[in-house]
Amino acid sequence: MTVENTKAEDQVEKPEATEAETSADVEAAVVDPILEEAPEIEAQAIDDTARRIEELEEQLAQAKDQTLRAHAEAMNTKRRAEQDVEKAHKFALEKFVNELIPVVESLEKGIESAEQGEGQHETMLEGMRLTYKQLLDALAKFNVEQVNPEGQPFDPNFHQAISMVPNPDMEPNTVMNVFQKGYTLHGRVIRPAMVVVSKAA
């Protein structure tokens, strides 16, 4: 056999696979593994989606909780500020009232002294009584009240007992004598009344 014949045989084309056969083989090689893994991929995707939804719901719940807390804190701060302003308005006069109380008491003592004297002091006594009443009226306009609890039950919120004396004629824990009158401003005690309290014999 000659070299030319060998070359001719080598050059003879071998039958090639048809295009359809090649496409089917490629599709089988690629699609079949994907189809086998599809249920696992789908399950994984569902799990990932569910986990992400759960995380988002948790974040939303935390955000709502933080918003509610911030709102409540803001409301509490506003309420405290309003209360502080209200107290400042109500009790701004406290120091001023404390300065006036000794004046009231001096007038009271002056009236008592004049009442014990002769009739020659009647005009002065009348003027002092009038001044005393005007002063108490002026204080009352600003919600300053005098506490004079003689004959009333002892109240530790407004009275301070300086002694207890047996007295069969009075109920126990009754104010027998008022040593020093008390004062309140808008219902808050500025100074408690100093009292003598009865006790059982």
Q: State the pLDDT at residue 197.
A: 95
Global pTM value? 0.53
Give the residue with greater pLDDT, 107 vs 116: 107
Domains in the chain: boundaries: 19-88, 92-142, 145-201
Residue 192: phi and psi, rounded to 5, are: -75, 155
Burial (CB count within 10 angstroms: exposed 0-12, middle 13-18, buried 19+), residue 152: middle
- For 44-75, write each residue's pLDDT tens digit: 888 888 889 989 999 999 999 999 998 899 89
Is pLDDT at 188 greater than 70 in this prediction?
yes
Asked if 164 and 197 count as a contact pair (C-beta separation under 8 A), the reply is yes
* Check whether domain 145-201 has CATH 2.30.22.10, yes or no: yes
What is the length of the chain?
201
What strands, in cross-sheet order, belong to the sheet with 144-147? 144-147, 182-185, 188-191
Asked if 142 and 94 count as a contact pair (C-beta separation under 8 A), the reply is no
Q: How confident is the model at residue 12 (pLDDT cuts 50, 70, 90)?
A: very low
Give the residue with greater pLDDT, 139 vs 162: 162
